[in-house]
Copies of this chain bind each other. A is one copy, B any other.
């Protein structure tokens, strides 16, 4: 069993590997998020490429170091591409992250697509509490694509999802991670209440998790990405308390993170 200090060392190692390898990450994301996701990945040290058409999906996934699929604003062509890339990722052992934005009864089409995508065994599923809870079989009332549930109420339910993925990450005021690798729940504290006021921060977190999965195990990838965002969010909020300026500072701190900042500000707990 990993101690907290061991986990922190693995986070730091993952961050160093991300800088050293600058992994190519194929991002299939929504139209709201794509610019922001690309900029976050570049700032963090990865090399994003937004290839999301069905005619190039297979060949591109084969050369990618990781794949991020986010179902936020699907089109027919993009949905076809996602299914092709997920299958290719599974066949070629490319780690991939599934972000089931808006999963639930109201948005049936994407939810059925997510159900199909699960067959290709994502390495990590990342979502907010409402999405993860619904995906785990609960009937949840959500408000649009934002969560109405608290993350900590959900991680017990989420265990059933470990049949589909090696790691489940539930974002919220604090984030909760569960995995096949570790028989415990890891809680990541930090961030800022302004992060949900910036659109696509969750989407960018999913893509950053994919980037880290190119250089570490699914659990450490999720832990490193959530820690990366938690520290950057906390430090940005210390500098700026309104959304426009906060967003600029947040991008700055995603870029400026280093071993010292991780050592100084990481705030994780291992729960039973």
Which residues of chain A have a CB within 8 Å of any CB of chain B?
Answer: 24, 26, 30-36, 38-39, 42-43, 47-53, 55-56, 59-60, 63-64, 72-77, 102, 106-110, 143-146, 196-200, 242-245, 247-252, 254-256
User: Do A35 and B33 touch (CB < 8 A)?
Assistant: yes
Q: Beyond A38-B32, A50-B31, A199-B42, is A107–B242 a contact (Cβ under 8 Å)? A: no
User: Do A109 and B35 touch (CB < 8 A)?
Assistant: no
**How many angstroms from the CA of A253 to the CA of B9 in the assembled complex?**
41
**How many angstroms from the CA of A252 to the CA of B244 in the assembled complex?**
5
**How many angstroms from the CA of A107 to the CA of B102 in the assembled complex?**
31
**How many angstroms from the CA of A37 to the CA of B114 in the assembled complex?**
26
**How many angstroms from the CA of A250 to the CA of B31 in the assembled complex?**
23
**How many angstroms from the CA of A155 to the CA of B146 in the assembled complex?**
39
| A144 to B, closest residue via Cβ | B49
User: Do B144 and A107 touch (CB < 8 A)?
Assistant: no
In-complex Cβ contact of A252 among B56, B73, B245, B256 (8 A): B245
User: Do A198 and B39 touch (CB < 8 A)?
Assistant: yes
**How many angstroms from the CA of A108 to the CA of B56 in the assembled complex?**
7
**How many angstroms from the CA of A213 to the CA of B86 in the assembled complex?**
41
Interface centre among A33, A35, A42 (most CB of B within 10 A): A35
User: Do A50 and B30 touch (CB < 8 A)?
Assistant: yes
User: Do A35 and B32 touch (CB < 8 A)?
Assistant: yes
Q: Residues of B contacting A107 with CB < 8 Å?
A: 51, 56, 59-60
**How many angstroms from the CA of A31 to the CA of B75 in the assembled complex?**
13
Interface centre among A50, A76, A77 (most CB of B within 10 A): A50
**How many angstroms from the CA of A33 to the CA of B38 in the assembled complex?**
10
Q: Known pairs A32-B50, A39-B198. 5 more at Cβ < 8 A?
A: A24-B144, A47-B146, A75-B77, A243-B255, A244-B255
User: Do B243 and A47 touch (CB < 8 A)?
Assistant: no
